[in-house]
Structure 1
Amino acid sequence: MPTTSYWLFVGFALAASFTPGPAVMLSIHNAMHYGWRRALWSSLGNVSGLLVLTLLSALGVNAILHASALAFNALKVTGAIYLIWLGVQQWRGASRGARPLPATSSGAPAPERRPRALYAKGLAVALTNPKAIAFIAALFPQFLSPSRPMTPQYATLTGTFMVISLGALSIYAGFAVLTRKRLRAWFSSGWPQRASGGVFCAFGLGLLRLHR
């Protein structure tokens, strides 16, 4: 693809990645309560989801969602329920404030903060968001040159988008950790977690209003 088109894509990817959404909120929440390193696992899960969504878009799944109201609504409702569930879980856990979750009797981290669980949450947030599928399907073709092989171009755009998304989520997580250290008493009150839970519920309810 032309160099000018590539850097234009980078600009769009930066704007999309730094715009607050479910993935950003999840990264901030995990950073506040489990630390930056553990928040990285959910971010890795999210960018893995972006890779899957790109592959699905290339295979034409987005066309299926546009053509089938049933498929679109099923994915939309699934994503909304998952985001609302995350919000309720965060609200219920607000009594713990920003204190680390206790370890198990064996000394291992509690299930909620294990890398596998955090990675799975990030992956699920990406895969159950039809807006992300639509965004990728609408954005990528604008920067593909029909006269050149598609696979290298898709690989370049996908890799760039994943790196930028991971960087954005890591930056948000870093700011969350710094803020927690400065406002430790407020974070210990549990209100930031309640606010985060409320935002997740709002994202879920907003997803229900999404039309094809």
Structure 2
Amino acid sequence: MALDTWLIYLVAVIGLSLAPGPNGLLALTHGVMYGHRKTLFTISGGVLGFVVLIALAMFGIGALLLASTDLLLVFKWIGGIYLIWLGIRIWRSPAIALQPVGKAVAVSQFGLFRQGALAAITNPKVLLFFGAFLPQFIDPEKSLLSQFMVMAATFAVVEFVVEYLIARVATKLRPWLARSGKRFNQCCGGMFALIGASLPLYNN
């Protein structure tokens, strides 16, 4: 993967990790309930789930490349349109409503890990997103495996750091999201729409 493409991918992944989603909300909630150290197990499970979904998306992209590189171009345009639509949805969505968290129930480390993994893997929208998102950065002339390793590792590190920071400052984030969550959603939605509009043109 070329450095300039990777840098654009890095910025896009940061935006994705910051956007409201089940795993970020889970990290926020568990950070309040169990503390940031225990929430590391929740985060680790979620990151593993995301890597599995990236692998599945890349497997589908590999099948497209075996059929025709022209299909990848078509898929990039379809993916770009989907990202624009997703950006509009996030822009228009209301702020996340966080209910007060009661007394935490004792839970094992594996239980936290399992919750994080299931939150990622059982969300079909995530697989759909990766199917639209990853082709924007694929170079069909280079090894798909090496590109998968770079993309998966970059996403895993960014997602882990962002979710850990969310868990670390969870008690401070709750009132901020209640107060400024709508503007935050608009920023994330605008980023996705911009990515969706620009990347298919950039990669042609």
TM-score category of the 2 structures, normalised to the smaller one: 0.5 to 0.7
2:155 pairs with 1:161:
yes
Match of 2:126 in 1: 132
Shift in Å, 1:131: 1.1
- The one-letter code of the counterpart of 2:154 is T
2:9 pairs with 1:15:
no
Q: Count residues with an aligned counterpart.
A: 141
Give yes or no for contact 2:49–2:121 (8 Å, CA) kept in 1: yes
1:41-97 Cα shifts (integer Å, max 9, x gaps): 111110000111011112229x9xxxxxxxxxxxxxxxxxxxxxxxxxx98xx7x82
Q: CA RMSD in A?
A: 2.5
Q: 2:115 aligns with which of 113, 118, 121?
A: 121
Task: Calculate the TM-score normalised by the size of structure 1.
Answer: 0.61
Shift in Å, 1:133: 0.4
Local SS of the residue matching 2:53: helix
Alignment of 1:49-60 (within 5 A): 49-60=49-60
2:139 pairs with 1:145:
yes
Give yes or no for contact 1:35–1:177 (8 Å, CA) kept in 2: no
Task: Calculate the TM-score normalised by the size of structure 2.
Answer: 0.63
> What percentage of residue pairs aligned between the two structures are identical?
28
Structure 1: runs of 5+ lacking an equivalent: 64-89, 102-109, 184-191, 193-212
Give yes or no for contact 2:166–2:173 (8 Å, CA) kept in 1: no
- The one-letter code of the counterpart of 2:10 is V
- The one-letter code of the counterpart of 1:170 is Y
Local SS of the residue matching 1:59: helix
Match of 2:66 in 1: none
Q: 1:147 to 1:60 in 2, by over 3 A?
A: closer
1:107-135 Cα shifts (integer Å, max 9, x gaps): xxx3xx21100000010010111111011
Local SS of the residue matching 2:141: coil
1:122-178 Cα shifts (integer Å, max 9, x gaps): 100101111110111111111111111111011101110011011110011011145
Match of 1:176 in 2: 170
Give yes or no for contact 1:13–1:161 (8 Å, CA) kept in 2: yes
- The one-letter code of the counterpart of 1:25 is L
Give yes or no for contact 1:36–1:177 (8 Å, CA) kept in 2: no
Structure 2: runs of 5+ lacking an equivalent: 64-97, 179-204
- The one-letter code of the counterpart of 1:162 is A
